[in-house]
Amino acid sequence: MNIDLTGKTALVTGSTQGIGLAIAETLARSGARVAINGRTASRVDETVAQLGDLDVVGVAADVATQKGTEALLEQLPSVDILVNNLGIFGAEPAREITDEQWRKYFDVNVLAAVRLIRSYLPGMIEKGWGRAIQIASDSAIVIPEEMIHYGVSKTALLAVSRGFAKDAAGTGVTVNSVIAGPTHTAGVEDFVYQLVDKSLPWDEAQREFMRKHRPQSLLQRLIEPEEIANMVAYLASPLASATTGGALRVDGGYVDAILP
């Protein structure tokens, strides 16, 4: 399949590292002009320089806040492709998660996406074409006991996508979620070492983590960010014109179900 995004402008939130960076690079290599987003200008500039041979621009803004979202919209008033990748996660005993932590996870993992969809969807509908893609998680379906606040926020994100897909019905705009499984990023490496012996070399630590904490994985390894990015590029393309309101799995078979 030839995925050609020439002439399209894309925004990927939280794209200075990890999955977001892989998505931004893949979209740009598919021909899109991609806005790299992060909270600090220096980090955004470093990433833009790293992708210097591609058509990318930097937009530094904290989209987890209303003020930051407004600053981003001033710099980037319209997009064709919105990828809500920004998210936070971390292990915390269920009964020790505070109200403040619950609110923070909702603000970052859910409300940031809602604000951007709400802001960009009218322009997409007016043009008769657009893509809004949310990066969810297997934790949305298989709530992990060590971070239920994260899992619940990602469950909400699936509902957000389905709801806005209905709002955009019949307009040429699609809204979908990608259910990402355990993925190899720097942040996940830190998370893995929260749960296994910190003295273990990475390869051993990864295997121990998957064996003890993610034994359902049929892949039996962490997913690479580029594997998530490939699904996003397809959903962002004209080839996925009949896919909307969906939750598509790139989870390595982690979720033990035929459907999400």
Q: Are residues 106 and 62 in the same domain?
A: yes
- Number of helices and strands in the chain (H, E): 9, 7
Same domain for 64 and 91: yes
Indicate whether 44 and 169 sit together in one domain.
yes
Q: What is the span of the domain harbouring residue 53?
A: 7-182+224-248
Residues 94 and 142 in one domain: yes
- Regarding whether 233 and 206 lie in a shared domain, the answer is no
Cβ 202 vs Cβ 159: under 8 Å: no
In a domain, 254, yes or no: no
* Within-domain flag for 141: yes
Q: Do 189 and 86 reside in the same domain of the chain?
A: no
Residue closest to 87 by CA, chosen among 131, 30, 141, 37: 37
- Is the domain of 38 the same as that of 133? yes
Evaluate whether residue 255 is within a structural domain: no
Chain segment 134-182, per-residue pLDDT in tens: 999 999 999 999 899 999 999 999 999 999 999 999 999 999 999 999 9
Is the domain of 178 the same as that of 197? Answer: no
pLDDT in tens, 28-67: 999 999 999 999 999 999 999 999 999 999 999 999 999 9
Q: For residue range 74-124, list pLDDT tens digits in order.
A: 999 999 999 999 999 988 999 999 999 999 999 999 999 999 999 999 999
Quote the number of domains for the chain.
2
Q: Are residues 60 and 135 in the same domain?
A: yes
What residues act catalytically? 150
